[in-house]
Amino acid sequence: MVLRMSTLFLRTLREDPADAELPSHRLLVRAGYIRRVAPGIFSWLPLGYKVYRNVERIVREEMDRSGAQEVHFPALLPREPYEASGRWLTYGDGIFRLHDRKGADYLLGPTHEELFTLTVKDLYSSYKDLPLSIYQIQTKYRDEARPRAGLLRGREFVMKDSYSFDVDDAGLQRSYEQHREAYIKTFDRLGLTYVICAASSGAMGGSASEEFLAPAENGEDTYVRCSGCDYAANVEAVITPVPDKLAYDDVPAAHVEDTPDTPTIETLVDLSNKRDDLRRADRDWTAADTLKNVVVMLKHPDGTREPLVVAVPGDRDVDMKRLEAQVGPAEPEAFTEEDFAAHPALVRGYIGPAALGENSASGIKYLVDPRVVEGTRWITGANESGRHVYDLVMGRDFEADGTIEAAEVKEGDACPRCDGTLVMARGIEIGHIFQLGRWFAEALDLRVLDENGKRVTVTMGSYGIGVSRAVAAIAEQSHDEIGLIWPREVSPADVHLIAAGKKGDATFDAAEKLAGEMEAAGVRVLYDDRTGVSAGVKFADSELIGVPTIVVVGRGLANGVVEVKDRRSGEREDVPVEGAVQHLAASL
């Protein structure tokens, strides 16, 4: 393949587009790979589409190799399947809905669990047909509240989504492992660095769930990894190691105190350390000794609302995303003025355990952070305005309905697996694998006969790769100040060949000849055969476009050599024209 820049549908921009912030977005637009059409909606130009198709090809090859079979569902879908799963409603305004001429409801598929499940139900009815893994590479549509960052979060994007169908849990585990392996091969070939993180399985339930995150400053996901072992997790799924129970024989009996002017944890701790009657004998009180009781309203999918109080040590906030991951499919909402009015047991700012719990008078569910183990000693609200209770001991003075992982995760927190500590970083979610289980099969009644002739519900796995997002993730990870740097397999070409001389001189003839030889040798060439364009412009464009190897036919030609530059390292070497093609073909 020889792509000639003299006729290529391409215009590189000398300046950054005003609406692009992230490097991937900026450079993909500047280098002429994509153009914005509407918020979160992009067109692919020739170079960009080549990269996109390379990514797609690699994903497809690895899926096929893993034994999955490719199908293709429509993007335009009727309402019924989503009605059956309940998601026509629960998806809310996150989907694009439309009507046909008769007024019937349609939607642009945001995801295709329903279609996969129903199609398998259509065709299969025996355990002998399973296991089965099928996938598609499809354009998805989501009416994102805020599209951003170019290709990283669009309203139209391409995803590879696959589903596995098994009769039993062991089968699901095998299908899951197969996908995991395929994903590792895929992302390796894409030239991405990534971290496999434990993830929360989200609103759809399920058990095992892992995300492939490409570390990137501008990523939307926060994850942790351990400094001492290979533990890595999305911050939503971080597990807090449970401390040992403490002895509390020496702790004074709980006592309620007037604590005026202590609207914040900080002022409360200050006061507690200042007043002799409140001070701790062994050491100063810290924010971590206070127990903060945060009240939220849970909205269940059926529309009912239920108050929940979450207790966390006072030096931490409740992380709403972590909370949401725990309470799903219910959604936590802010507790409003009206809610407080409806629950007089909750004294704003002074909520304490005595008024809480399913067995208490209020009946309000009370869940505590895992750090709140038996024997821990707290300052917390006394359920009266202006008063706190001191030396309240878990297990002695109060109980909870259970624990919940909702406290924010901090850099330096303990690793749940080893003695190490956690460091935090950000990443782009490029893949997600999880064991969906029987939720969908149950909802859509996908069952098969087992070997005893009994109907059993199929168990499913769900696996996604953001194909268009991966293009941006690669760009985000692989660029420098002056342009993109593509990994070989996704690059729009293997070699960017530049004729650096004057129009009509020997360099053009030599470059032309080289281009032909490269093509014959199976090397993909982007050939800058533009006349009337200075060498400087050609060099700058080649660096912006980011093909990994740049070959310059120019002044060295007099000595029978061409210059071969490595885009990433910047290293250059002179290579005899005669052997240049073999030299290149060997090094690719």
Partner RNA sequence: CGGGGUAUGGCGCAGGUUGGUAGCGCGUCCGCUUUGGGAGCGGAAGGUCGCCGGUUCAAAUCCGGCUACCCCGACCA
Buried b (16+ CB within 10 A) or exposed e, 133-144: bbbbbbebbbbe
Which residues neighbour 583 within 8 Å (Cβ) at sequence distance 6 or greater? 564, 575
Q: How far is the CB of 476 from RNA (least distance, A)?
A: 13
* 102 forms part of the interface with RNA (CB under 7 A): no
Q: Are 202 and 325 in contact (CB under 8 A)?
A: yes
Site string for RNA, 157-186 (x = CB under 7 A): --x-x-------------------------
Q: What is the CA radius of gyration of the chain?
A: 30
* 75 forms part of the interface with RNA (CB under 7 A): no
Q: Choose the binding region for RNA from 342-350, 361-369, 508-516, 548-556 (rule: CB under 7 A).
A: 548-556
Site string for RNA, 433-472 (x = CB under 7 A): -----------------------------x-x-x------
Phi, psi for 305 (deg, rounded to 5): -120, 140
Q: Are 179 and 136 in contact (CB under 8 A)?
A: no
* 271 forms part of the interface with RNA (CB under 7 A): no
Please give the Cα distance from 392 to 352 (Å, whole number). 10
Q: How far is the CB of 252 from RNA (least distance, A)?
A: 40
Q: Are 407 and 238 in contact (CB under 8 A)?
A: no
Q: How far is the CB of 333 from RNA (least distance, A)?
A: 9
Of 135 and 285, nearer to RNA (C-beta) is 135
For tokens 């064991």, name the residue: 435
Q: Choose the binding region for RNA from 119-127, 182-190, 446-454, 537-545 (rule: CB under 7 A).
A: 537-545
Interactions with RNA, residue window 376-435 (CB under 7 A): 432
Q: How far is the CB of 567 from RNA (least distance, A)?
A: 10
* 245 forms part of the interface with RNA (CB under 7 A): no
Please give the Cα distance from 340 to 361 (Å, whole number). 16
Q: Name which position in 327, 406, 544, 564 contacts RNA (CB under 7 A).
A: 544
* 322 forms part of the interface with RNA (CB under 7 A): no
SS3 296: strand
Q: Choose the binding region for RNA from 200-208, 265-273, 382-390, 416-424 (rule: CB under 7 A).
A: 200-208
Q: Name which position in 252, 503, 513, 582 contacts RNA (CB under 7 A).
A: 503
Site string for RNA, 24-43 (x = CB under 7 A): ------------x-xxx---
* 481 forms part of the interface with RNA (CB under 7 A): no
Of 112 and 189, nearer to RNA (C-beta) is 112
**Full 3-state SS string of 516-559:** HHHHHCCCCEEEECCCCCCHHHHHHHHHHHCCCEEEEECHHHHH
* 528 forms part of the interface with RNA (CB under 7 A): no
Taking CA atoms, 483 is separated from 23, 46, 479, in Å, by 9, 17, 6
* 559 forms part of the interface with RNA (CB under 7 A): no
Q: Choose the binding region for RNA from 169-177, 188-196, 237-245, 541-549 (rule: CB under 7 A).
A: 541-549
Of 17 and 420, nearer to RNA (C-beta) is 17
Q: Name which position in 274, 536, 571, 586 contacts RNA (CB under 7 A).
A: 536
User: CA angle, 164 as apex, 214 and 331 as ends, to 5°?
Assistant: 65
Nearest to 426 by CA among 232, 218, 233, 226: 218
Q: Choose the binding region for RNA from 65-73, 305-313, 388-396, 546-554 (rule: CB under 7 A).
A: 546-554
Nearest to 159 by CA among 168, 151, 171, 170: 151
Q: How far is the CB of 543 from RNA (least distance, A)?
A: 5
Please give the Cα distance from 563 to 535 (Å, whole number). 13
Please give the Cα distance from 266 to 259 (Å, whole number). 13
Please give the Cα distance from 90 to 71 (Å, whole number). 27
* 144 forms part of the interface with RNA (CB under 7 A): yes
Q: Are 214 and 194 in contact (CB under 8 A)?
A: yes
* 303 forms part of the interface with RNA (CB under 7 A): no
Which residues here bind RNA, judged by CB under 7 A? 11-21, 36, 38-40, 94, 110-111, 140, 142, 144-149, 153, 159, 161, 202-204, 220, 320-321, 324, 331, 432, 462, 464, 466, 482, 500-503, 532-537, 539-541, 543-544, 552-556, 563, 565
